């Protein structure tokens, strides 16, 4: 990868040298002034927006790009998700797309020269009844045809992989088996944001934090300019890479979306010795658990039962979540919860994202990421960049256009995307 | 967690209710396919005061129209759905 001179290498040698010399570390990305015009303006400084900016610059030489972030980068869904990466989706379109993302994640640390701490510890989705076991066999076969490692294992294998799990017949929802997906794992999500920001910045992209987009000027159905809280910039292209606020941004150009925004709550426990290697998911119990490199257990749930733009947690969620985790792993009953939070998820009717052009010239969408947006960051950035730079929609994202709702050609991904992440 | 004051049952926890999404008006039978498509899929997804439908599953089993602020979760008006909505 070509790297500008400004960017400091994070090799072991340079770390040692700088450590010994106690040299100052330079700013990792700049705080540039707002230019009068850009070739592309990206709304939203999360992993999707920053990855799109990076791939526009790296793969297509489009460097007059601005990323507008109303808060600090990674302050939305990118910093609130549970950092799980996997590709064992149900539909061929879905699994092909997420498989590309896993492949990009596998070499992302090298590409960005930034340790994103991607650990492929395996991803296990538990089956508590015959029908989910049946769907898992279906998913495993779809995945295998795509060359994705994915198989159904029995409760003995589950116990071998996660000794703390209660696989007896005692629980209300006994464990019958699981879908086992070895390439799945967890990432340090902030590092992915920072890595992309640093790499995009070094290629010339302007990252504008504390800069809110308040209006988009699109007379005659063609994007001309963006009004921000720091002033107006002219641009022929705007990409909506927001989550939570995607409807409000699309409203600025009169594009209506089939999206409702729902909070998803997550929580983290105090750190303990490593005991849980894979990511464990239970669709029936609406819970997923993983242990971070720091030793904390990260718990996530399904979305809240009603739409809202609020990121406040609720006690019934914490109670329900803790109860479900204890049903799976009874020895955790003594652990304390450290904190809980919520992120905003833009849910679509078919649990597929919305990526593609709109009826407004120059206004592109990369939205509707529901509860599965983080794991798609790299592939989405790569494909959206290709779409914007070449003017044609790449086959990998063609199934996810906004027009699929008019054609009645929905993606049917709910079975694999709804809870199990 | 919301506290919903049901006009029939009094103050109840939102666990008793099923959320039915934002309230909208059904198009006429002669409406174009595009209007039906929009009715089926497109949502205003308001950040602020929203009129929405709830079903009191574990109570009176009546449909309600509720005005709720989607940012603060404050509720200012609850009506039986038979009274319509603004």
pLDDT at A246: 96
Closest partner residue to B41 (CB to CB) among A247, A248, A405 is A405
**What confidence tier does A418 reach under pLDDT thresholds 50, 70, 90?**
low
* CA–CA separation, A37 and A41 (whole Å): 9
Chain B interface includes A312 (CB < 8 A): yes
Q: How far apart are CA A122 and CA A281, in angstroms?
A: 11
Is 50 exceeded by the pLDDT of residue A420? no
Domain extents in chain A? 30-86+90-114+189-259+350-417
CA of B83, closest CA in chain A: separation in Å? 22
Segments of A24-97 assigned E as strands? 40-43, 65-68, 84-85
Domain residue ranges in chain B: 3-83
What value does the mean pLDDT take over residues B5-10?
Answer: 97
pLDDT tens-place string over residues A286-324: 899 999 999 999 999 888 999 999 998 888 888 889 999
Q: What is the pLDDT of residue A136?
A: 93
| Contact yes or no for A257 and B42 at CB 8 A | yes
Instruction: With cut-offs at 50, 70 and 90, classify the pLDDT of residue A416.
Output: low
**A405 touching B (Cβ < 8 Å):** yes
Cα separation, B42 vs A398, whole angstroms: 20
Q: A2 falls in which pLDDT band (50, 70, 90)?
A: very low
Higher pLDDT among residues A304 and B86, named by residue: A304
Report whether pLDDT(A1) > 60: no
| Overall CATH class of domain A30-86+90-114+189-259+350-417 | alpha beta
* Average pLDDT of the residues of chain A: 93
For residue A64, what are its two tokens? 């007059």
In CATH terms, the superfamily for domain B3-83 is Folate-binding superfamily (3.30.2270.10)
Instruction: Quick: pLDDT tens for B15-73.
Output: 999 999 999 889 999 999 999 999 999 999 999 999 999 999 999 999 999 999 999 99
Is the pLDDT score of A7 beyond 80? no
* Whether B70 and A307 lie within 8 Å, measured CB to CB: yes
pLDDT at residue number A353: 94
Residue of A259, A315, A349 with shortest CB distance to B45: A259
Which of A260, A308, A406 shows the shortest C-beta gap to B21?
A260
pLDDT tops 80 at residue A119: yes
How far apart are the C-alpha atoms of A246 and A251, rounded to whole Å? 9
- Supply the pLDDT for residue B84: 79
- Answer yes or no: is pLDDT of B1 > 90: no
pLDDT at A24: 82
Distance in Å, alpha carbon of B30 to nearest chain A alpha carbon: 18
Flag whether the pTM goes above 0.90: yes
- Write out pLDDT tens, residues A43-79: 999 999 999 999 999 999 999 999 999 999 999 999 9
pLDDT score of B5 more than 90:
yes
Greater confidence (A102 vs A5) lies with A102
Query: Residue A257: its chain B contacts at CB < 8 A?
Result: 42-43, 45
Helix residue ranges per DSSP H, A92-162: 92-106, 108-112, 130-145, 155-161
- Do residue B43 and residue A315 have CB atoms under 8 angstroms apart? no
Cα A272 from Cα A185, distance rounded (Å) = 19
Chain A residues whose CB is inside 8 A of the B19 CB are 305-307
């Amino acid at each position: 990868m070509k790297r500008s001179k400004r960017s400091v290498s994070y090799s072991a040698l340079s770390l040692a040298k700088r450590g010994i010399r106690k040299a100052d570390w330079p700013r990792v990305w700049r705080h540039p002034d707002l230019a009068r015009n850009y070739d592309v303006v990206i709304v939203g400084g999360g992993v999707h927006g920053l990855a799109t900016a990076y791939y526009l610059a790296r793969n297509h030489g489009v460097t007059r790009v601005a990323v507008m972030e109303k808060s600090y980068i990674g302050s939305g869904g990118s910093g609130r998700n549970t950092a799980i990466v996997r590709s064992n989706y149900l539909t061929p379109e879905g699994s092909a797309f997420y498989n590309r993302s896993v492949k990009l994640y596998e070499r992302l640390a090298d590409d960005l020269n930034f340790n994103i701490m991607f650990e492929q510890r395996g991803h296990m989705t538990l089956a508590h009844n015959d029908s989910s076991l049946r769907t898992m066999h279906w998913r495993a076969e779809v995945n295998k045809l795509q060359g994705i490692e994915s198989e159904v294992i029995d409760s003995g294998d589950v116990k071998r992989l996660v000794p703390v799990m209660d696989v007896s017949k005692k629980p209300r929802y006994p464990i019958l088996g699981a879908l086992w997906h070895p390439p799945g794992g967890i990432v340090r999500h902030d590092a992915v944001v920072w890595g992309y920001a640093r790499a995009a910045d070094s290629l010339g992209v302007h990252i504008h934090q504390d800069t809110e987009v308040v209006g988009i000027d699109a007379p005659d159905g063609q994007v001309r300019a963006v009004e921000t809280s720091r002033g107006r910039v002219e641009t022929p292209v705007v990409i909506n890479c927001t989550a939570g606020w995607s409807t409000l941004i699309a409203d600025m150009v009169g594009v209506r979306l089939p999206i409702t925004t729902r909070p998803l709550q997550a929580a983290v426990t105090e750190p303990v010795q490593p005991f849980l290697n894979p990511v464990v998911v239970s669709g029936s119990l609406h819970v997923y658990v993983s242990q971070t490199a720091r030793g904390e257990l990260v718990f996530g749930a399904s979305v809240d039962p009603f739409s809202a733009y609020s990121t406040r947690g609720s006690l019934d969620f914490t109670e329900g979540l803790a109860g479900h985790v204890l049903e799976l792993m009874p020895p955790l009953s003594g652990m304390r919860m450290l904190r809980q939070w919520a992120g905003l998820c833009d849910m679509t009717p078919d649990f597929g994202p919305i990526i593609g052009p709109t009826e407004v010239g120059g206004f592109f969408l990369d939205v509707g990421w529901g509860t599965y947006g983080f794991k798609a960051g790299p592939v989405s950035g790569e494909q959206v960049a290709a779409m914007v730079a070449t003017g044609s929609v790449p086959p990998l994202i063609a199934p996810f256009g906004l027009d699929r709702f008019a054609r009645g050609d929905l993606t049917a991904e709910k079975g694999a995307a709804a809870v199990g992440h | 967690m919301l506290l919903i004051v049901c006009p029939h049952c009094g103050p109840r926890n939102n666990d008793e209710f099923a959320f039915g999404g934002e309230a909208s008006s059904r198009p006429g039978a002669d409406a174009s396919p595009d209007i039906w498509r929009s009715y089926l899929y497109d949502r205003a997804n308001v950040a602020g005061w929203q009129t929405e439908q709830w079903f009191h599953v574990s109570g009176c089993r009546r449909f309600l129209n509720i005005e709720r602020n989607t940012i603060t979760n404050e509720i200012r008006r609850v009506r039986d759905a038979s009274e319509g909505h603004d």
